[in-house]
């Protein structure tokens, strides 16, 4: 989708399962902005254990300097007035205030590019990412390759049942799965996930509309 590139800001959201290239696509867009001599700032959640201390690194080896934050509000506080393009990686780790922060930054004329998982290992949408999708000007849905059968994958399969902090895309802990091969992970429910309606509930609701 081609947007009118004027002084108005907007929000772009890149979503998909693990190993779908979200961080790579985020870095690609930010690099292009830097080539265009635009001022870029990049943020990542400090809870993402696979990242280095000051970089976002894709599985293909692409990397870009970033600023670690523990809350969405910290992004707004750290953005410089002259910054034109803002990148945010692993948005699902941030609190729901990230939706308001992105909207405020866009209202200030910033281009905001956000990447993150759209669903958790139970197959449920992350609440903050779901809200971003409903308010963004541009959405990119990426697919991975199912680790079991090779078909297009939309789910993130958890392979490790141990408790503890989430380790996104760590080898042996998560892998991409297609709709047929996906087996919702066991364990505790993430508090920031949205439980989808049962199939029967969706049909009943649709029929009564």
Active site residues: 90
- The DSSP letter of residue 156 is E
58 close to 180: Cβ distance less than 8 angstroms: no
Residue 78 vs residues 41, 175, 201: alpha-carbon distances, Å: 9, 33, 44
Q: How far is CA 148 from the centre of its chain?
A: 24
Token readout for 9 is 């800001």
Residue 120 vs residues 105, 179, 208: alpha-carbon distances, Å: 27, 14, 30
Longest dimension (CA), the chain: 53
DSSP alpha helix (H) spans, the chain = 22-35, 72-78, 97-107, 127-135, 199-208
Strand partners for 40? 85
């Amino acid at each position: 989708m081609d947007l009118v590139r004027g002084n108005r800001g907007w929000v772009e959201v890149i979503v998909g399962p693990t190993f779908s290239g979200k961080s790579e696509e985020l870095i690609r867009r930010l690099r292009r902005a830097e080539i265009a001599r635009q001022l870029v700032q990049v943020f990542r959640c400090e809870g993402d254990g696979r990242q280095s201390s000051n970089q976002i690194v894709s599985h293909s080896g692409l990397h870009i300097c970033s600023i670690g934050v523990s809350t969405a509000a910290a992004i707004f506080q750290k953005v410089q007035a002259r910054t034109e393009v803002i990148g945010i990686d692993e948005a699902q780790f941030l609190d729901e205030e990230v939706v308001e922060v992105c909207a405020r930054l866009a209202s200030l004329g910033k281009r905001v590019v956000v990447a993150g998982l759209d669903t958790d290992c139970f197959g449920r949408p992350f609440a903050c990412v779901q809200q971003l999708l409903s308010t963004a000007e541009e959405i990119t849905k990426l697919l991975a390759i199912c680790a079991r059968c090779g078909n297009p994958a939309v789910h993130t399969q958890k392979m490790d049942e141990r408790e503890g902090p989430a380790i996104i895309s760590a080898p042996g802990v998560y892998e991409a799965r297609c709709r047929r091969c996906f087996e919702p992970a066991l364990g505790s429910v993430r508090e920031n996930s949205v439980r989808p309606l049962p199939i029967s509930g969706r049909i009943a609701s649709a029929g009564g509309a």
